[in-house]
Amino acid sequence: MDIQKSIHDAISRLYGEVAPELVQLQKTKKEFAGNLTLVVFPLLKLSRKNPEQTANEIGEALKANISEIEDYNVIKGFLNLTLGASYWLETLEEINSDEHYGTTAAKPDSPLVMIEYSSPNTNKPLHLGHIRNNLLGFSLSEIMKAVGNRVVKTNIVNDRGIHICKSMLAWKKWGNGETPRSSGKKGDHLIGDYYVLFDKEYKRELAYLQENGMSREEAEENSPLMAEAREMLRKWEAGDAETVELWKTMNSWVYAGFDETYKALGVDFDKIYYESETYLEGKEKVLEGLEKGIFYRKDDGSVWADLTADGLDEKLLLRSDGTSVYMTQDIGTAKLRFNDYPIDKMVYVVGNEQNYHFQVLSLLLDKLGFAFGKGLVHFSYGMVELPEGKMKSREGTVVDADDLIEEMIQTARETSEELGKLDGCTAEEATNVARIVGLGALKYFILKVDPRKNMVFNPKESIDFNGNTGPFVQYTYARIQSVLRKAGTPQALKGGVISDGRAAGTPLLGSRGVNLSEKETAIIQLLSEFPAAVGEAAASFSPALIANYVYDLVKEYNQFYHDFPILKEDNPDLRNFRLILSENVGKVVKTGFALLGIEVPDRM
């Protein structure tokens, strides 16, 4: 039953036709009796009475006309409504009957949303900052699917530029033919080591030049090492065969390393683009805009966009020597993507230091005629740091993604063993549980934070079986599965025979009725809010809303679990109800965590 519509219709019968937006329902605050609260103030013009009189008048009308409303109370301009057990039991029946509860399948004509995330550079391995980006991008993709969109997950790899040449040059000068196989290192780690080595040698060279009388600026301008890197970039852009072959070889090592990390994180992509293939497309599109008068050329030959009329400034698109900038590359990537897919909405998952860049990109794409340009979304997120502070790639002080994943899994294993969570598990089961819990702790700790905020990731805090953590939620799910196994019955969702012998398909909650406690009612109400939580997470681009919804649900269920018997309940109807309630809490937890890219273990 759509309770909001029933309440709207009843108020319309009382006062004449009421605009739907005036009927504002919200969850009743815990300190007051009731389940739903009607805000009366928007209705005062219709009632022509004071708030309390209006609330009481509406309360009487609703109680008389809507059988599910059992009682009401008035607190100033707020009408608190108590819904009867029959309403909540019917709600649970509906949730129980829907295997994909809370999600909507896409249709062939559903909007197509493309979501870009990861965007690594091929001169270094993925680090903690990339982990937040990948987890946010993947989770957002799953959430957008869950509200009925078609989704394309895409990655743009920064595989060209001076930073790539720094690693290449360092390997060429000092690598002695080292390969991932000969070194035993992942390819992305190997190349990252040479990026750090270049920076070390460059700083040593600068120090030497300054000791011999040059200023800092003169040393940087006259650095032989940097001159070699620039020459290597020039050769690459000119298509020099030897340089291009070295670039291909070293990038292939990096991609193999990236793939291992992505697999460990549980993220993937439908389409990968490479800036080495998109920057020329961007130059072509900019020159096309120049011909149409959208952009202009300065005396030095550089090409610019004048955005002052849009409240921004002038933006460089092509340098005087004809080389492209990042903005040009993004235009080229957009062109290729728009050719490949009929994009309705484009979402870029990129840190908040690029806010201005995407303001400009949106305007430029719109001026160039891309349908999604004006409506593109920059999913701007905050930086992630460690308790020790910021990380620096060039100095080799970043937290490597692979090391962190390995550390989380090992810590999860040690913690689980200490607490006896792995007792009775086979060696294979214990290894899998440690992986699920370790990654769940990492992902949940990052995703529960509002993505717009900077955050500090504390590995020790994340692996805790109490509090707002992934392992706490995962353990609750495993506990529910244990209860269902001990009940000795097939799970209700899969049909079969219910615990009191009734065939599947008959009402699961019996015909004699069940008296619900406040705690049981609260859990059903929370379950009923899951679709709205998914919808809000999609609308606000915030996986944190899903994470914190699941935590609230699990916290409520754990209080119920400790206060009420399930398997030892003598009343068969009540026992069956509590099993079904538990089962559906597990179902929603599993679905919610899947939207975050987090697995849940059946045993712990």
With a cut of 50, which residues of the chain have pLDDT below it? 1, 390-396, 490-506, 510-511
Q: How many other CB atoms are there within 10 angstroms of residue 13's CB atom?
A: 12
Q: What is the pLDDT of residue 504?
A: 41
CB-based contact 14:63 (threshold 8 Å): no
Q: What angle do CA 517, 566, 528 make, to 5 degrees?
A: 50
Residue 572 CA: distances (Å) to CA of 93, 362, 481, 486, 512: 17, 61, 20, 15, 11
CB-based contact 162:229 (threshold 8 Å): yes
Q: What pLDDT digit, counting tens, does each position of 561-578 carry?
A: 999 999 999 989 899 999
Homologous superfamily of the 3-83 domain (CATH): Arginyl tRNA synthetase N-terminal domain (3.30.1360.70)
Compute the distance between CA of residue 188 and CA of residue 179 in angstroms, rounded to an integer: 11
Q: What is the pLDDT of residue 498?
A: 38
CB-based contact 221:229 (threshold 8 Å): no
Domain ranges of the chain: 3-83, 411-595
CATH second-level architecture of 411-595?
A: Orthogonal Bundle (1.10)
CB-based contact 400:125 (threshold 8 Å): yes
- Read off the tokens for 439: 């990654």
Q: What is the pLDDT of residue 564?
A: 95
Residue 318 CA: distances (Å) to CA of 227, 322, 324: 22, 6, 5
Q: What pLDDT digit, counting tens, does each position of 70-121 carry?
A: 999 999 889 999 999 889 999 999 999 999 999 999 999 999 999 999 999 9
**DSSP H helical segments within 529-571, as ranges?**
530-540, 543-563
Q: What is the pLDDT of residue 332?
A: 95
b/e sequence 578-589, b meaning 16+ C-beta within 10 Å: bbbbbbbbbbbb
Compute the distance between CA of residue 79 and CA of residue 82 in angstroms, rounded to an integer: 10
CB-based contact 289:368 (threshold 8 Å): yes
- Read off the tokens for 149: 């969109």
